Amino acid sequence: MTAQSDAERRTTHPPETDGRFPVPLRGVAVDAETRCGHYDDAVDVVAIRFSCCDCYYPCFRCHETLADHEPERIARESFDDPGVLCGVCGERLSVREYLDCDDACPACGASFNPGCRRHRDRYFAVEE
């Protein structure tokens, strides 16, 4: 038997989820604040719920890697429902709260990656 690396131990494959978080979460090499093997800067501390599997992932690449289906964006009519997890404090934000938060958690003030604005359309049914 070969020893698993720390990153391999922190990768969750369906149907497993990561028990460190208050929501069902899957990802590749996820740390305690939801940074993953794809995005791991200090401000990469959110996980987003994918409607297709009702599971949170740190990024779209984690979903591509681990899910066996195409991603579905959160519909506009669901923007008031929880859809984003702050990896720092565990607060669940509605999509609307996240889109309006100026790149900082309204509960704890943790900074979110402003670069994520460029690919919001991968997660949410937003207008261009």
- Is there a contact between 21 and 9 (Cβ–Cβ < 8 Å)? no
The answer to whether position 62 is within a domain reads yes
CA distance 109 to 11: 27
Question: Is 35 part of a structural domain of the chain?
Answer: yes
Query: Would 61 be classed as within a structural domain?
Result: yes
* Full pLDDT tens readout for the chain, 128 residues: 456 666 666 899 888 999 999 999 999 999 999 999 999 999 999 999 999 999 999 999 999 999 999 999 999 999 999 999 999 999 999 999 999 999 999 999 999 999 999 999 999 998 64
Whether 50 maps to a domain, the answer reads yes
- Domain of 45 in residue numbering reads as 6-122
Q: How many domains would you assign to the chain? A: 1
Neighbouring residues of 122: CB distance < 8 A, sequence distance ≥ 6: 60, 71, 73
Q: Indicate whether 10 belongs to any domain.
A: yes
